[in-house]
Amino acid sequence: MNEQQGSIVCVGVGMTLGSHLSPLSRSYIEQADVVFSLVSDGLVEQWIGQMNPDVRSLQPYYHEGTSRLVSYNAMVAAMIAEVKAGKKVVGAFYGHPGVFACVPHKVIEQARALGYYGKMEPGISAEDCLFSDLAIDPGQFGCSHFEASQFMFYKRIIDPSAYLILWQVGIAGDLSLSKFSTGESYRQVLIDILSLHYPKDHQVILYEAPTLPIHSHRIESLPLSSLLHAEIHGYTTLVIPPCQELTRNMEVLQRLDAIDKDHKNIKLV
């Protein structure tokens, strides 16, 4: 299919103002005909606003009481309309535009399906900051990530010997997708699910990366049961360290050992 004139590029501006934006992403923002921004701090929004004469915030699409799916679809439609008008459109999203963010994925997919150019440019996500600030190497014990509500709505396989990271924990359990925060009764359900796999006194971590360079991160360790009354914001991520040691898979180890022995025998022959 021949590509038509309009285009969409979704870039990540990272988490911290000034520190994380890549030169390429900045250039995309500066060169765009129109920029749509969705960031997590008013000052970051202002900062992006200075990089291009036509920057439009996606914040007005959120309405408490309206499903976020409706808001997300409207955001995608607004961007696609400009792409169809033949413009070079850029979506500037905080963090990494493809990490726990359906809007950038959707708009690129739709633009491509219509024959337009669509691309995603990575950014530094909350996850990246979390690994640095909490000194976690996801390769050490393994690490699974879930959107907190999805984790509650569906039966998932939990591995207590790996890290478990829950995103959007501030609205955990919201079936209506229309709340900006959920309260203690919803959180109690999450604690109950987690308590099936982790002791109630297991230390979990509430993490917040700084969005302004003058601030520091929040790392609060607390027992799982204390999550109920903890201060949790829209920008808080819940980190649950492993509570079990890795268990050897003896069957696989024996098979691998047998292969090693076979190889040694072949060499001897």
Ligand X SMILES: C[S@@+](CC[C@H](N)C(=O)[O-])C[C@H]1O[C@@H](n2cnc3c(N)ncnc32)[C@H](O)[C@@H]1O
Q: Which residues are catalytic?
A: 68, 72, 94
Is residue 150 near other proteins by the rule CB under 8 A?
A: yes
Least spacing, CB of residue 196 vs ligand X, in Å: 22
Task: Identify the CA nearest to 5 among candidates 96, 117, 98, 94.
Answer: 117
Stretch that binds ligand X, among 94-102, 106-114, 192-200, 222-230 (CB under 6 A): 94-102
d(CA 55, CA 75): 14
Least spacing, CB of residue 91 vs other proteins, in Å: 10
Task: Work out which of 35, 209, 224, 227 binds ligand X, going by CB under 6 A.
Answer: 209
Is residue 175 near other proteins by the rule CB under 8 A?
A: yes
Size of the site for ligand X (CB under 6 A): 20
Task: Work out which of 45, 121, 174, 208 binds ligand X, going by CB under 6 A.
Answer: 208
Supply 196's token pair.
């099936």
> End-to-end distance of the chain based on CA atoms, in angstroms?
58
Least spacing, CB of residue 250 vs ligand X, in Å: 38
Is residue 217 near other proteins by the rule CB under 8 A?
A: no
Which residues in the 51-90 window bind ligand X by CB under 6 A?
none
Strand partners, 146: 166
Q: Which does 175 bind (CB under 5 to 8 A by kind): ligand X, other proteins, none?
A: other proteins
Least spacing, CB of residue 183 vs other proteins, in Å: 16
Q: Three-state secondary structure along the chain?
A: CCCCCCEEEEEECECCCCCCCCHHHHHHHHHCCEEEEECCCHHHHHHHHCCCCCEEECHHHCCCCCCHHHHHHHHHHHHHHHHHCCCEEEEEECECCCCCCHHHHHHHHHHHHCCCEEEEECCCCHHHHHHHHCCCCHHHHCEEEEEHHHHHHCCCCCCCCCEEEEECHHHCCCCCCCCCCCCHHHHHHHHHHHHCCCCCCCEEEEEECCCCCCCCCEEEEEEHHHHHHCCCCCCCEEEECCCCCCCCCHHHHHHHHHHHHHHHHHHHC
Least spacing, CB of residue 68 vs ligand X, in Å: 10
- Comparing CB distances to other proteins, the nearer of 98 and 118 is 98
Which residues in the 148-167 window bind ligand X by CB under 6 A?
167
Task: Work out which of 69, 189, 246, 253 binds other proteins, going by CB under 8 A.
Answer: 69
Residues that bind ligand X (CB under 6 A): 15, 40, 94-96, 99-101, 125-126, 167-168, 170, 207-209, 211, 234-235, 237
Residues that bind other proteins (CB under 8 A): 16-20, 38-43, 45-47, 50, 59, 62, 68-69, 72, 93-94, 98-105, 146-147, 149-150, 153-154, 167-168, 171, 175-177, 180, 212-215, 234-235
